[in-house]
Structure 1
């Protein structure tokens, strides 16, 4: 197992049991054994194919345990839901030709550079949204996540999000797509986010952020950082995270290259071929990625997880009031570009 995942100190679970690194293999096996007992395991194995072994690897189970504070039952439940989702959604089968239309404007893409820790970097530009279909947006998001994960080095599990708010307007605000994005990332890609940098968000984004925060786990919100190009500390922050000569100029770097969908398409097609070959190779070589799933149906479309995995009722949202407050701030702030949002 990745030693980077193993914190030397004891971890407290909600059952008030201290967990040490020596306990991790035992807890991982407990999750695996619980999943093996499900009556539909043979069907799930057949449906998932190669994905079955990857989902039940030590590293994968470890991520679900960490997301649920090493609580075996909650990690098992969370992993079950992901297995069902992967069995039905089939994210590993999404190819470039299925999402190319969503990618045309460069609203979301995997950057050609990594951060200093070797983490994949996903760049998002909300102003470049070119689709009204939440379903299509989420499909492209899942494709990008699978691609970014494929490019992580063996010792790294997480990625960085760089969100460029240049040109962001009220029309780019969508609670529905944001909620669904949070659900996909938190419930099915736990512990994959290392850091999310919101670069130059306008002041009128603040009411929207206050509405969105309840849908995010505290562990997730702690990884969100607001960074401003005119803040003297920004340069130090970005230099500590990225190689400035590789970082895009939009984020204070020296790389002047712009997104070109034609070049990006070729990269993605090549990546698709490599991913397919890699998956087939793992299957034929009997990759040591371990075991199995179980199922518990969970309706997570209208509920959200707290940091320990319990389901809580989504707070009521008055979207009209939120938008009205944002507009008020934008008018008072000359377009909403002068204020700061506290981290």
Structure 2
């Protein structure tokens, strides 16, 4: 009866004696409980070819993958039910957590976890716990201004063709050694970039210029890992693409280690681009107006970082940030000649 059942449910396959499996793949399959069930020894001492069974199982897996992809596409087009489900699972929120957990925010966490509500809930709760202790919305420019003196990371004064905020990073201008302050500086700029995204835009772009980069100026593996952890786990779906522009060969050794900390979604957002590579040039031109793009990235514009001017803009933004989060009880603190907003206890 089992033989008859298999003949109806599986496509025509070649039979062979059970003792003759011909490949390592067959040997691995033989260890599977499912294969052990099907690969029975009939009265004629023959059984289903394990390789054929492997093909059949692969076919069913592909069908399952296609079905999962269709479900994800449906959720992306009609996310309301999943968002409401996640909202109910989270329960009542208040304060900054309530402001943070907008419908758009919940959608990003659902997308990051393939629309699995339970996994998205866990991820979001971990972010809320992190935000309650790290308090990124309370970081002010005067706390991290020293990190920005060389312009190693700053918000560009232009957007890409899709209206996304651009952060420019120049690791060759590293000027400090404190991992905590370096990460705090980056978190501050990420929060700032997000808060001032154009309406309807959710993502930012990173442009990374390797001019002057060396092992001496390179951040540690520990710092890179912690940065990746924060970006992936607490700012999901915020990075559209990171362009690594003409990285030196020496960087490849560092990248071989760092890339293993990236999840697949983030990994595919990292693009290596090179000045004389036609595909790289086309990619950059598809994302940026070359008249706005600095020459360091193959454009025509001149990039000049003015720390005094950038500090003035960030101080203005701090006032807006405090107001957005309901933290607008601020006073002005004199820091390096600047009047800087600071929270009042």
Length-normalised TM-score, structure 1: 0.72
Equivalent residue number for residue 4 of structure 2? none
Find the partner of 1:257 among 303, 306, 312.
303
Alignment pair present for 1:91 and 2:136: yes
Find the partner of 2:81 among 16, 19, 26.
26
Shift of 1:170: 1.4
SS at match of 2:90: helix
Q: Which has the higher contact order (CA 8 A, sep 6+)?
A: 1
Matched ranges for 1:183-222 at <5 A: 183-222=229-268
Dislocated runs of 4+, deviation >3 Å:
16-19, 278-282
CA distance in 1, matches of 2:73, 2:117: 11
Equivalent residue number for residue 77 of structure 1? 122
Shift of 1:245: 1.3
CA distance in 2, matches of 1:250, 1:281: 38
- The range that moved more, 223-232 or 135-144, is 223-232
Matched ranges for 1:269-284 at <5 A: 269-280=315-326
Find the partner of 2:223 among 159, 177, 186.
177
SS at match of 1:243: coil
Shift of 1:17: 6.0
Length-normalised TM-score, structure 2: 0.72
Find the partner of 2:151 among 71, 84, 106.
106
CA distance in 2, matches of 1:159, 1:18: 23
SS at match of 1:170: coil
Find the partner of 2:90 among 30, 35, 48.
35
Tell whether the 8 Å contact from 1:138 to 1:181 is kept in structure 2 after alignment.
Answer: yes
Tell whether the 8 Å contact from 2:245 to 2:273 is kept in structure 1 after alignment.
Answer: yes
Shift of 1:277: 2.8
Shift of 1:191: 0.2
Tell whether the 8 Å contact from 1:134 to 1:177 is kept in structure 2 after alignment.
Answer: yes
Q: Which consecutive residues of structure 2, in runs of 5 or more, have no partner in the other structure?
A: 1-65, 329-345
Tell whether the 8 Å contact from 1:55 to 1:61 is kept in structure 2 after alignment.
Answer: no
How many residues align structurally?
A: 261
What is the CA RMSD across the aligned residues, in angstroms? Answer: 2.1
Equivalent residue number for residue 226 of structure 1? 272
Equivalent residue number for residue 336 of structure 1? none
Tell whether the 8 Å contact from 1:11 to 1:19 is kept in structure 2 after alignment.
Answer: no
Larger Rg: 2
Shift of 1:173: 4.5
Equivalent residue number for residue 119 of structure 1? 164
